[in-house]
Chains A and B, each alone.
Chain A
């Protein structure tokens, strides 16, 4: 049986009175690539941020490799674990954001090296080698000395992906990583993600790129109003949608 990497069960999350996630369950095995599609406000980004513990959630359990992250249940009381533990739990996942969030005062290589050195306590030399390795993997072997402001959006996002995977996470989270890019820069980023999929990286991808989701995913999740509206193989979701909501959503998106 495949190794279970991520186990999300019955996540409920509200911002004030507004219930965003209303009981979401989702499992990912090692090497799974799962895409989440859905209209804005359906909760897909929030779900991803809960997995990376950037958001607190009121109910539910998230396990990574079988271990509960973010919350403890001592004495039957559900409490958020301390910041140190949060930081450690968060290190199990790598996240790439819509807005890149590269550190502008550090070069591309330094962006990748920072956490390798300060979190994983690797030597400068080893960190630099890892950074160079990943820069080559994302097709930017000679841009290590460039600063984010000197790179195109697509290049910045590729550095951001390199920065996340260099930490050797169990699971990669992609949050609409091409939404801020010019159309001609989207493919270079998607190609990098596809190559990670080929390598067997476990990935949870929130995206508006339907063709990409179709091509790269093992499973596609359609989120609708805080719950999973429909899920299945790319063919089932895109070719034979069973719910009206999904049909309507697909009709309004380009494929």
Chain B
């Protein structure tokens, strides 16, 4: 690489840091909100009555059937028609959170339903009530099963933040485009973008693997 690249890198370092910050801020916020909503919907899918289950199922299937980009564009450009006007940042986070919530809901339902019936009966037989059985028996086993998939979703969300550049959020990808527009070092700065995404995603995956091992059932 030429000295020109490092010079340009130095000049644009603050922009890049702000881009990384924006990427992480959007990702983390979306994952947290998405997980919280997803848990409620997942519980509805598992324990809700038939009507609640129907609407939860509808939500999950519809969201999972829509590309994230379409979700982003819809929330940013179509919702204002019904007078729901979100800033680009709000719309971006909301879209990714909604996407994540459907994933989380589905994986939690799967995890809870995979807990063997014998576990539930064993819990009942020692006198645990429904809620205690859920907290101390079903959930700990379901969470262990869900963890790897949840980490996958987190990585998907980080990669999904590239898409919010299209509604003008200055995250890593858009920062790079702006820098390249100024210095035409196309290959170098896109490679840098790839490297940054890789480091973030790889760290998440390794952390996930580490936690997985820590809590693994012996």
Check A87–B217 contact: CB distance below 8 A: no
* B128 surroundings in chain A (CB, below 8 A): 87, 114-115, 118-119
The answer, among A54, A88, A119, A147, for a CB contact under 8 Å with B132, is: A119
* A93 surroundings in chain B (CB, below 8 A): 125
A39 within 8 A of B: no
A247 within 8 A of B: no
A120 to B127, CA, bound (A): 9
* B127 surroundings in chain A (CB, below 8 A): 87-88, 90-91, 115, 119-120, 167
Check A83–B129 contact: CB distance below 8 A: yes
Check A115–B126 contact: CB distance below 8 A: yes
Closest to B143 in A: A105
Closest to A150 in B: B218
Check B129–A84 contact: CB distance below 8 A: yes
Chain A, residues 202-217, CB within 8 Å of chain B (1/0): the string is 0000000000000000
Tell me, rounded to whole Å, the shortest Cβ–Cβ distance linking B144 to chain A: 7
Check A52–B125 contact: CB distance below 8 A: yes
Question: Which chain B residues in 104-155 approach chain A with CB under 8 Å?
Answer: 118-119, 121-130, 132, 136-137, 140-141, 144
* A167 surroundings in chain B (CB, below 8 A): 126-127
Q: Which of B125, B128, B141 has the most CB of A within 10 A?
A: B125
A88 to B128, CA, bound (A): 9
> Given A103-B137, A105-B140, A97 and B118 touching (CB < 8 A)?
yes
> Given A83-B130, A84-B129, A99-B118, A104 and B217 touching (CB < 8 A)?
yes
A206 to B141, CA, bound (A): 30
Check B141–A104 contact: CB distance below 8 A: yes
The answer, among A88, A101, A105, A150, for a CB contact under 8 Å with B118, is: A101
Check B129–A97 contact: CB distance below 8 A: no
Check B136–A87 contact: CB distance below 8 A: no
* B217 surroundings in chain A (CB, below 8 A): 104-105, 147, 149
Closest to B129 in A: A87
Tell me, rounded to whole Å, the shortest Cβ–Cβ distance linking B203 to chain A: 27
A91 to B128, CA, bound (A): 9
A52 to B125, CA, bound (A): 7
- Other than A97-B118, A105-B144, A118-B136, give 20 A-B pairs with Cβ distance below 8 A: A52-B124, A52-B125, A83-B130, A84-B129, A87-B124, A87-B128, A90-B127, A91-B127, A94-B126, A97-B125, A99-B118, A103-B122, A103-B123, A104-B141, A105-B141, A118-B132, A119-B126, A119-B132, A149-B217, A160-B122
A to B CB contacts below 8 Å, 23 in the list:
A54-B124, A83-B129, A87-B128, A95-B125, A101-B118, A103-B119, A103-B123, A103-B141, A104-B217, A114-B126, A114-B136, A115-B126, A115-B128, A118-B136, A119-B127, A120-B127, A147-B217, A147-B218, A149-B217, A150-B218, A160-B122, A164-B126, A167-B126
